[in-house]
């Protein structure tokens, strides 16, 4: 606690019949701050603070200048980037294709280093690629800094039409492609034998499109075998050893039930499976050979 004692003497004196009073305060009567008087304390004047204030204002001004210059040069760099080839596509990645080559898809997309990465119109590129009969769906995306990604879904090849020594792929869309290069053989799809480009072939392609691909892969050959008034008869040779007699009408419905029918026949000898109005099996051992047929007719 600081105790302040004030000792005052009031001394009257006269001057022209007027009375004045002088109040004196003993300096030694005021104590505080360890006994220091007001005059002993350090007082900072405004003149002493001016250099510090000027330095602070200069620092703030310098910081603002650095921020403005940074923004300015950043904008300059952006302008240079967009005006140069750095903002163009430099790489195209293609995925999902098995039969159509990367080169062909890139040519269809018209994507090259003249196309701006930021002005890439994905919808237009997808429309261009989908012009190919072999492409069912396309998705185009961008990956920074300069890559365009093209993901395709191809129309499955559901069969191959054999004409002479050439094989023509038939797609699930029903389209028939150009013949395979010489020396290439069909894979993962049946071969259509004894067919020509007729109404029956168009109908057959439409039915094959509705058959499950797992079943398509189990068919080795499909022969067009009309018999008298039965103009749409077919003979199929399966990879599991069965021979199937059926017709074009409701072909997909009949063949989609094939796995269930074969599962029920697994304990029986293999043979000719008839799939028409109903289904039944004729074992190979009961099928007469050509020699036996000739003896019966002679």
Q: What is the pLDDT of residues 232-260, one digit of tens each?
A: 789 999 999 999 999 998 999 999 999 99
Give the count of beta carbons closer than 10 Å to the beta carbon of residue 113: 11
Same domain, 202 and 139: no
Phi, psi of 16 (to 5 degrees): 55, 50
Q: What is the pLDDT of residues 46-94, one digit of tens each?
A: 656 677 777 778 888 889 999 999 999 999 998 888 888 889 999 999 9
Same domain, 97 and 203: no
Query: Domain with 186 in it: what CATH number?
Result: 3.40.50.10960
Is 246 a domain residue? yes
Number of structural domains found in the chain: 2
Is 49 a domain residue? no
Query: Domain with 119 in it: what CATH number?
Result: 3.10.20.310
Does the pLDDT value for residue 8 go beyond 50?
Answer: no
The pLDDT of residue 272: 94
Confidence class for position 231, pLDDT limits 50, 70, 90: low
Domain that holds residue 185: 157-297
Nearest to 172 by CA among 138, 148, 207: 207
pTM, two decimal places: 0.66
Is 72 a domain residue? no
Output the CA torsion sign for 164, 168, 172, 175: negative
Do 237 and 221 contact (CB within 8 A), yes or no?
yes
Q: What angle do CA 263, 266, 270 make, to 5 degrees?
A: 120
Whole-angstrom Cα distance, residue 203 to residue 162? 17
- Between the two ends of the chain, the Cα-to-Cα distance in Å is 145
Is 273 a domain residue? yes
Is 13 a domain residue? no
Does the pLDDT value for residue 291 go beyond 80?
Answer: no
Confidence class for position 2, pLDDT limits 50, 70, 90: very low
Confidence class for position 262, pLDDT limits 50, 70, 90: very high
Is 111 a domain residue? yes
Is 95 a domain residue? yes
Same domain, 161 and 291: yes
Choosing from 154, 172, 191, the residue where a domain stops is 154
């Amino acid at each position: 606690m600081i105790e302040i004692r004030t000792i005052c003497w009031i001394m009257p004196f006269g001057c022209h019949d007027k009375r004045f009073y002088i109040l004196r305060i003993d300096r030694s009567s005021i104590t505080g701050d360890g006994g220091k008087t007001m005059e002993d304390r350090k007082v900072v004047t405004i003149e002493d603070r001016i250099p510090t204030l000027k330095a602070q204002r200069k620092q703030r001004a310098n910081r603002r200048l650095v921020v403005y210059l940074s923004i300015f040069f950043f904008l300059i760099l952006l302008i240079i980037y967009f005006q140069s080839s750095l903002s163009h596509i430099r790489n195209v990645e293609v995925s999902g294709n098995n039969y159509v080559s990367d080169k062909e898809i890139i040519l269809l997309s018209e994507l090259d280093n003249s196309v701006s990465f930021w002005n890439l119109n994905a919808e237009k590129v997808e429309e261009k690629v989908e012009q190919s009969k072999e492409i069912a769906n396309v998705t185009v995306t961008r990956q920074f800094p300069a890559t365009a990604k093209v993901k395709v879904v191809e129309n499955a090849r559901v069969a191959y039409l054999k004409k002479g020594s050439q094989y023509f792929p038939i797609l699930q869309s029903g389209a028939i492609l150009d013949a395979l290069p010489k020396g290439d053989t069909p894979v993962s799809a049946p071969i259509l034998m004894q067919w020509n480009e007729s109404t029956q072939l168009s109908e057959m392609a439409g039915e094959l499109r509705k058959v499950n691909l797992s079943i398509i892969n189990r068919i080795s050959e499909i022969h067009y075998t009309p018999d008298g008034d039965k103009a749409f008869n077919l003979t199929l040779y399966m990879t599991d050893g069965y021979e199937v007699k059926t017709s074009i009408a409701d072909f997909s419905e009949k063949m989609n039930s094939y796995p269930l029918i074969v599962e029920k026949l697994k304990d029986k000898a293999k043979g000719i499976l008839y799939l028409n109005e109903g289904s039944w099996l004729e074992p190979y051992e009961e099928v007469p050979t050509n020699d036996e047929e000739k003896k019966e007719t002679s």
